[in-house]
Amino acid sequence: MVRVNSNYSKLQGSYLFSTIGKKVGEYTAAHPEKKVIRLGIGDVTRPLPGAVIAALHKAVGEMGEEETFRGYAPDLGYEFLRNAICENDYRARGCDISPDEIFVSDGAKSDSGNIQEIFSLDNTIAVCDPVYPVYVDSNVMAGRTGDFDAASGAYCDVIYMPCGRENDFIPKIPERKADIIYLCYPNNPTGAVIGKEELQKWVDHANAKGSVIIYDAAYEAYISTPGIPHSIYECKGAKTCAIELHSFSKNAGFTGLRLGYTVIPKELERDGISLHSLWARRHGTKYNGAPYIVQRAGEAVYSPEGKKEIRELVSYYMKNAAYILDGLQKAGYEVSGGVDAPYIWLRVPDGMTSWDFFDHLLENAGVVGTPGSGFGAHGEGYFRLTAFGSHENTVEAVDRITSM
Amino acid sequence: MVRVNSNYSKLQGSYLFSTIGKKVGEYTAAHPEKKVIRLGIGDVTRPLPGAVIAALHKAVGEMGEEETFRGYAPDLGYEFLRNAICENDYRARGCDISPDEIFVSDGAKSDSGNIQEIFSLDNTIAVCDPVYPVYVDSNVMAGRTGDFDAASGAYCDVIYMPCGRENDFIPKIPERKADIIYLCYPNNPTGAVIGKEELQKWVDHANAKGSVIIYDAAYEAYISTPGIPHSIYECKGAKTCAIELHSFSKNAGFTGLRLGYTVIPKELERDGISLHSLWARRHGTKYNGAPYIVQRAGEAVYSPEGKKEIRELVSYYMKNAAYILDGLQKAGYEVSGGVDAPYIWLRVPDGMTSWDFFDHLLENAGVVGTPGSGFGAHGEGYFRLTAFGSHENTVEAVDRITSM
């Protein structure tokens, strides 16, 4: 008789956004006349840039002709894309990363869920709290954690690093030994960023202890403040302790197109084994590459026209962020994030839980956000709004919230 | 200090096709004047059908307009595609499968590598020998097998089911208890097919023992002989013991476009837990859906024009298969497969190993095939040729082989 993976039974409820979807569905069914504005899930709303669309049409054309048709892609991604990534996201920033240290994939969600596979099950993970749920859940499913403890709202054998206003949403380096440390900056969900000096401390710590940092840089395109690192490889020594995840979803609007990449420097070794070789093996055995046409779309993001359009796209969303930030501040809310990140993190009014505020906002303003407690116990009392809506909807949402 | 996943160190050498690529690279470097014909890796060569290209262009256009842009896809796939799959691949064949039992993915390779995650590590797997390497390697990496035993060319704690001419390449039901049974028909690499009565025995066995069959139907479009099942769900009782994997790569030429699907019936339970719910959770947590434009391409495969073009595509490759089969038979080779499958499986001449014959063919005919031993110990003495080349190249390859 087959036994199922019993680790799945440790998982709590369904995925956060499924629950939100259900609540919103019930509300709209009950109030079909009301227009609901969704600033919950971090999905983009602007169409793909012209340079990307042109590249897609061209690549589709190639796939229809015998001479230019392409079958299986190279395991780790086409060179044209890996070269463009290397040149623009690393060398231009003074980071010594080479194209063959870049693994192209179908997105940072897959990579952030799958990367734990190359590590032993007896490692201890450390995560920020609040946190993007995939880091924790993928480790729970693999069996790298204990059971969920309802009293503390946490899984046993996971090191949670509280992030709140008391520490500007930058965690303290944990005292307990953490083998795999997940960091995400600009942060989802808090919208906080980390300075280079502070990040350097984590790199030094990881190198001293033999830990590995999984650095999720999915939102780096939203950084405008000078001096804030776009990549962990801007820190000295990061190549011997850090893996970096990137996404095309949030800078170029690829949430529905699916493209991302992971960087594993060749000198990153543990137990005398190259993590690069393990991930290459994982990719080669269990994955067959991102679609050729989508990799061409990714390449177009780095063209002069593409870059210009991406900047406009990011500006568009950051104008939303500024409007939300300003409006809520004036209305007396305590808000953070939203300057170098597309997320605004606000304190819910005293006496309310995050889910209370979710219901309150949906009922009274018809606005959907994300309850902070969905991201972890220390997210309780907070609420996330995203800047990814249309500008018109964002303005209307803020007006509705502030006049509640 | 982080420990790496030590199961990876059990894996044997690099992936089969990497080794072939290396050998061919060395040969072409040494003989730049010679034209090498590749009938090794099972990659298609014909361009995408017109209906698919048109659907791609249309969907790309939608992604460029605000009104029709699409962000994150539904976790399990768009309804338009799941409905088309259900109607054409199941209901039209009398199989009682519903759209919400179909999970759209980026291909059968990913699914066949990932599906093992929902099972406990203490299950024993059974595989045909020879076998598509991903089934075994993904279980090795997860820790579901013992070490590799060089003497027998097999991993400990894996049940290998020999498939040779003595049993028409259909394995005997194993006497040892097998929890997870991988079957692939039409078979890769042998090109063999399984009749409905024979397949029914496996279904009955799995139901009696509580095993689960992972049925890889990636090549079902190549079946032309009446009475050969296209889906395991044509067998009675399969919905309580079988998961089925499908690909768009081999019927519609999607190797570079990436699309596939997995069927898990809702009534398939083990330990009182629905495997459908486990896979849904896996998909929702570690995957973000196939690209919208690629799902529209998949939908076009089921349009009247798409169906006609797919039939022509399959016919084109099967004309190659027939030419290879006929030519090699006349030249005295012992061959099988190639009738309801795009693979031809031939016995190598006495006194040669599979890799000897690989080198022999490359040196003397400039033709690349795949050594049978790359698929398992019982593949030794055999050799795989694919029908996926251009017709001109296939004819030339056969002429070169037969005049060696």
Taking CA–CA distances from A208, the nearest residue in chain B reads: B1
Instruction: Calculate how close chain A gets to B169, using CA atoms only, in Å.
Output: 25
Q: Is B53 a domain residue?
A: no
pLDDT in tens, A209-265: 999 999 999 999 999 999 999 999 999 999 999 999 999 999 999 999 999 999 999
- ipTM here: 0.96
Q: Is A110 on the interface with B (CB under 8 A)?
A: yes
Task: Tell me, yes or no, whether B295 and B312 share the same domain.
Answer: no
The radius of gyration computed from the CA coordinates of chain A, to the nearest angstrom, equals: 21
Residue with tokens 């962000």: B71
Instruction: Report residue A314 as tokens.
Output: 């990011």
The pLDDT of residue A19: 82
Last residue of a domain, one of A303, A326, A357: A303
Taking only residues 158 to 177 of chain A, the set having a beta carbon closer than 8 angstroms to any beta carbon of chain B reads none
Interchain CB distance below 8 Å, A56 and B53:
no
CATH number, domain at A343?
Answer: 3.90.1150.10
Q: What percent of chain A has pLDDT over 70?
A: 100
The pLDDT of residue B216: 98
Residues in chain A with CB shorter than 8 Å from the CB of B293 are 56, 257, 293
Q: What are the strands, taking DSSP E only, across B211-357?
A: 212-216, 242-247, 260-263, 269-270, 273-274, 335-337, 343-347
Interface test mutation site (partner A, options B41, B48, B60, B312, max chain A beta carbons within 10 A): B60
Domain tally for chain A?
A: 2
Residues in chain B with CB shorter than 8 Å from the CB of A4 are 118-120, 270-271, 273, 275, 278
Task: Say how far apart CA A310 and CA B88 lie, in whole Å.
Answer: 41
Q: Is A114 on the interface with B (CB under 8 A)?
A: yes
Task: Say how far apart CA A345 and CA A347 lie, in whole Å.
Answer: 7
Task: Tell me, yes or no, whether B17 and B145 share the same domain.
Answer: no
Task: Tell me, yes or no, whether A107 and A245 share the same domain.
Answer: yes
The mean predicted confidence, pLDDT, of chain A is: 96
The number of C-alpha atoms within 13 Å of B79 and in the hemisphere containing its C-beta is: 0
Task: Tell me, yes or no, whether B236 and B88 share the same domain.
Answer: yes
Across the interface, which of B15, B211, B390 has its CB nearest the CB of A2? B211
SS3 (DSSP) at B212: strand
Residues in chain B with CB shorter than 8 Å from the CB of A38 are none
The pLDDT of residue B369: 96
Specify whether the CB–CB gap between A105 and A87 falls below 8 A: no
Instruction: Report residue B239 as tokens.
Output: 């919905």
Last residue of a domain, one of B270, B285, B303: B303
Task: Tell me, yes or no, whether A383 and A284 share the same domain.
Answer: no
Per-residue pLDDT of chain B (404 residues; tens, 9 = 90+): 899 999 999 998 766 777 888 899 999 999 999 999 999 888 999 999 999 999 999 999 999 999 999 999 998 999 999 999 999 999 999 999 999 999 999 999 999 999 999 999 999 999 999 999 999 999 999 999 999 999 999 999 999 999 999 999 999 999 999 999 999 999 999 999 999 999 999 999 999 999 999 999 999 999 999 999 999 999 999 999 999 999 999 999 999 999 999 999 999 999 999 999 999 999 999 999 999 999 999 999 999 999 999 999 999 999 999 999 999 999 999 999 999 999 999 999 999 999 999 999 999 999 999 999 999 999 999 999 999 999 999 999 999 999 98
pLDDT in tens, A22-66: 899 999 999 999 999 999 888 999 999 999 999 999 999 999 999
DSSP lists the bridge partners of residue A244 as A215, A263
pLDDT in tens, A393-402: 999 999 999 9
With a cut of 70, say whether residue A15 has pLDDT above it.
no
Q: Is B327 a domain residue?
A: yes
Task: Tell me, yes or no, whether A316 and A331 share the same domain.
Answer: yes
At B242, give phi and psi (nearest 5°). Answer: -130, 140
Interchain CB distance below 8 Å, B63 and A257:
yes
Q: Is B10 on the interface with A (CB under 8 A)?
A: no
Interchain CB distance below 8 Å, A285 and B134:
yes
Taking CA–CA distances from A120, the nearest residue in chain B reads: B5
Task: Tell me, yes or no, whether A121 and A268 share the same domain.
Answer: yes
pLDDT in tens, A96-139: 999 999 999 999 999 999 999 999 999 999 999 999 999 999 99
Q: Which residues contact B34 (CB under 8 A, 6 or more apart)?
A: B27, B28, B366
Q: Is A184 a domain residue?
A: yes
**pTM for the structure as a whole:** 0.97
Interface test mutation site (partner B, options A9, A56, A60, max chain B beta carbons within 10 A): A60
CATH number, domain at A209?
Answer: 3.40.640.10
Interchain CB distance below 8 Å, A120 and B6:
yes
DSSP lists the bridge partners of residue A383 as A346, A371
Instruction: Note down the domain range covering A132.
Output: 53-303
Instruction: Calculate how close chain A gets to B181, using CA atoms only, in Å.
Output: 10
Interchain CB distance below 8 Å, B3 and A179:
yes
Angle between helices B304-330 and B292-301 (to 10 degrees): 70
DSSP state of B124: P
Taking only residues 66 to 85 of chain A, the set having a beta carbon closer than 8 angstroms to any beta carbon of chain B reads 66, 69-73
Task: Tell me, yes or no, whether B288 and B181 share the same domain.
Answer: yes
Residues in chain B with CB shorter than 8 Å from the CB of A73 are 256
Interchain CB distance below 8 Å, A6 and B65:
no
Specify whether the CB–CB gap between A125 and A159 falls below 8 A: yes
Task: Tell me, yes or no, whether A95 and A152 share the same domain.
Answer: yes
Q: Is A1 a domain residue?
A: no
- Which helix (H) or strand (E) element contains residue B362? helix B354-365
Q: Is A240 a domain residue?
A: yes
Task: Tell me, yes or no, whether B309 and B297 share the same domain.
Answer: no
Interchain CB distance below 8 Å, B113 and A287:
yes
Across the interface, which of B3, B53, B285 has its CB nearest the CB of A271? B3
Q: Is B24 a domain residue?
A: yes
Q: Is A143 a domain residue?
A: yes
pLDDT band at A404 (very low <50, low <70, confident <90, very high): confident
Task: Tell me, yes or no, whether A293 and A320 share the same domain.
Answer: no
Task: Tell me, yes or no, whether B290 and B340 share the same domain.
Answer: no
Residues in chain B with CB shorter than 8 Å from the CB of A247 are none
Taking only residues 189 to 228 of chain A, the set having a beta carbon closer than 8 angstroms to any beta carbon of chain B reads 209-212
Instruction: Calculate how close chain B gets to A112, using CA atoms only, in Å.
Output: 8
Instruction: Calculate how close chain B gets to A140, using CA atoms only, in Å.
Output: 11
Q: Is B61 a domain residue?
A: no
Residues in chain B with CB shorter than 8 Å from the CB of A63 are 47-48, 53, 56, 256-257
Task: Rounding to the nearest 10 degrees, give the CA dihedral for residues B126, B129, B134, B138.
Answer: 40
Residues in chain B with CB shorter than 8 Å from the CB of A133 are 285
Last residue of a domain, one of A274, A303, A332: A303
Interchain CB distance below 8 Å, B71 and A255:
yes
